[in-house]
């Protein structure tokens, strides 16, 4: 009952209640982003959703415009403390997870849940093994089991295996534990960064994030 109905209702109600939070942060963060470099407020990147459906995930932009796409050895996205691609404001909103707030819109669109596995990049699907596939049987979340307990301290495969475990064992009480553990993890700023020594440029070359991937394509006014 929880998996197929009550969870969706909770997502809808809480995301509607969170809209004022989104509006406030949009005004404050949006103004600062515009003052800092004049670029777009939002970044939207393609991600793997439930059943492998590709959707656009929204974030407040934390990187400089046209920043190169740098990956870890396993192909997952790289997060470094002194990453030169990240703006001054971007570093702050990443460390506090404020950059994730626009995903409230993804929940309202039905692409995401509050609690669920963090979504993978579409080109990572080729790496999924059969035991990892259950991850795609549930909607991705703003936060999830790995995000709450491990964040960036594990490899992509380890995360997918734990996400698959979550998908097979999802329950109301597990989601409650993940929710409150996420608060602790964010406040303590645990597991924020991946190991810079393991980062490489995907396919041995830089890939530029196209300007047109910004959320303005979705007709949302800056």
**What pTM did the predictor assign?**
0.82
Number of domains, the chain: 1
Q: Which domain holds residue 116?
A: 2-218
Neighbours of 210 (CB within 10 A): 9
Cβ contacts of residue 179 below 8 Å, gap of 6+?
114, 115, 143, 148
Write out pLDDT tens, residues 199-208.
Answer: 444 333 444 3
- Alpha carbon of residue 182 to chain centroid: 13
Write out pLDDT tens, residues 125-148.
Answer: 999 999 999 999 999 999 999 999
Is residue 21 very low, low, confident or very high in pLDDT (cuts 50, 70, 90)?
very high
């Amino acid at each position: 009952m929880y998996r197929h109905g009550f969870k969706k209702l909770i997502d809808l109600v809480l995301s509607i209640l969170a809209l004022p939070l989104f509006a406030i942060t949009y005004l404050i963060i949006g103004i600062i982003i515009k003052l800092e470099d004049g670029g777009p407020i939002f970044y939207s990147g393609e991600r793997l959703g439930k059943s492998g459906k590709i959707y656009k995930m929204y974030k407040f932009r934390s990187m400089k415009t046209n920043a190169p796409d740098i990956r870890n050895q396993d192909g997952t996205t790289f997060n470094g403390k002194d990453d030169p691609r990240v703006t001054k404001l971007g570093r702050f909103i990443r460390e506090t997870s404020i950059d994730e707030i626009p995903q409230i819109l993804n929940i309202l669109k039905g692409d995401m849940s509050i609690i669920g596995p963090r979504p993978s990049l579409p080109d990572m699907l080729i790496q999924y093994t059969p035991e990892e596939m259950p991850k795609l049987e549930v909607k991705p979340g703003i936060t999830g089991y790995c995000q709450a307990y491990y964040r960036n301290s594990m490899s992509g495969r380890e995360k997918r295996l734990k996400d698959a475990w979550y998908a097979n064992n999802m329950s109301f009480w597990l989601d409650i534990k993940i929710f409150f553990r996420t608060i602790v993890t964010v406040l303590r700023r645990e597991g924020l960064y991946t190991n810079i020594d393991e980062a490489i440029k995907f396919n041995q070359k830089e890939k530029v994030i196209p300007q047109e991937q910004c959320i303005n394509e979705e007709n949302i006014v800056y």
